[in-house]
């Protein structure tokens, strides 16, 4: 089926870490297609590939060379009564971005954190970026270079991505529960956390 104006995409980025751990970052983009340019699946996947490659290139200098941003699964989703349901696989974007730092990676769960905001104060997107080397943190503080690289990634993330004609992909949040359930909110601003975050499930033998 064609992806049309207003359709919502869930994009799951897979990141390979040492010891066979695969981390994920999940994003949402909504297609704005006011002129009905009707981009193909391949055009949408290509646009997201370009977008995500640019984002992870921004932070790759701080990521260990034992890490790789592998690819991204792109799915169309729709709200069904009380949950978002995957209705169609759009394709896979092959990112293949390898970390560029030869130093040892910090523990698997340690991450750089970015929080993106919407116009609704209670609805936001938080991303935990894995794979940084130990030298990117002094105690629990992110060093200046890491904050700068995460800021570059954030600016790229919040910028709409052209697809074809007037069709663009807009970064959004998909409301999950309460008053925001089933609603879609564009991202309007973001903050880079200067303190290291942590994802407990990102460790060998556990998961993403």
pLDDT in tens, 42-82: 999 999 999 999 999 999 999 999 999 999 999 999 999 98
CA distance 45 to 112: 26
Q: Is residue 206 domain-resident?
A: no
Q: Is residue 1 domain-resident?
A: no
Q: Is residue 44 domain-resident?
A: yes
Q: Are 9 and 192 in contact, with CB atoms under 8 Å apart?
A: no
CA distance 60 to 83: 34
By C-alpha distance, which of 28, 193, 189 is closest to 119?
A: 189
CA distance 67 to 194: 22
By C-alpha distance, which of 132, 147, 150 is closest to 58?
A: 150
Indicate the pLDDT class of residue 1, thresholds 50, 70 and 90: confident
Q: Per-residue pLDDT for 205 more than 70?
A: no
Q: Is residue 203 domain-resident?
A: no
Domain that residue 145 falls in? 8-198
Q: Are 65 and 99 in contact, with CB atoms under 8 Å apart?
A: yes
pTM: 0.95
Is the C-alpha dihedral spanning 132, 138, 142, 144 positive or negative? negative
CA distance 69 to 198: 19
Q: Is residue 16 domain-resident?
A: yes
| Residue-level pLDDT at 203 | 77
Is the C-alpha dihedral spanning 159, 162, 166, 171 positive or negative? negative
Q: How many CA atoms lie within 13 A of 208 on its CB side?
A: 12
pLDDT in tens, 99-147: 999 999 999 999 999 999 999 988 999 999 999 999 999 999 999 999 9
**Considering its fold, how many domains does the chain have in total?**
1
Q: Is residue 189 domain-resident?
A: yes
Q: Is residue 104 domain-resident?
A: yes
| Residue-level pLDDT at 76 | 98
Start-to-end CA distance of the chain, whole Å, equals: 30
pLDDT in tens, 12-42: 999 999 999 999 999 999 999 999 999 999 9
By C-alpha distance, which of 51, 19, 18 is closest to 169?
A: 51
Q: Is residue 14 domain-resident?
A: yes
């Amino acid at each position: 089926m064609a992806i049309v104006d207003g359709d919502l995409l869930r994009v799951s980025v897979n990141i390979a870490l040492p010891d066979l751990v695969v981390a994920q970052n999940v994003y949402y983009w909504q297609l704005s297609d006011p002129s009905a340019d009707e981009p193909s699946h391949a055009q949408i996947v290509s646009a997201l590939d370009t977008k995500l490659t640019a984002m992870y290139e921004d932070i790759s200098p701080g990521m260990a060379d034992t890490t790789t941003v592998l690819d991204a699964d792109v799915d169309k989703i729709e709200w069904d009564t009380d949950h978002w349901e995957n209705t169609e696989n759009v394709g896979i974007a092959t990112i293949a971005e390898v970390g560029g730092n030869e130093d040892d990676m910090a523990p698997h769960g340690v991450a750089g954190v970015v929080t993106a905001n919407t116009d609704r104060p209670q609805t936001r997107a938080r991303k935990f970026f894995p794979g940084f080397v130990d030298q990117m943190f002094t105690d629990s503080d992110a060093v200046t270079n890491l904050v700068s690289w995460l800021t570059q990634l954030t600016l790229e993330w919040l910028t709409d991505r052209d697809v074809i004609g007037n069709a663009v992909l807009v970064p959004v949040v998909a409301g999950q529960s309460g008053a925001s359930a089933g609603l879609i909110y564009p991202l309007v601003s973001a903050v880079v956390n200067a303190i290291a975050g942590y994802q407990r499930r990102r460790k060998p033998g556990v998961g993403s």
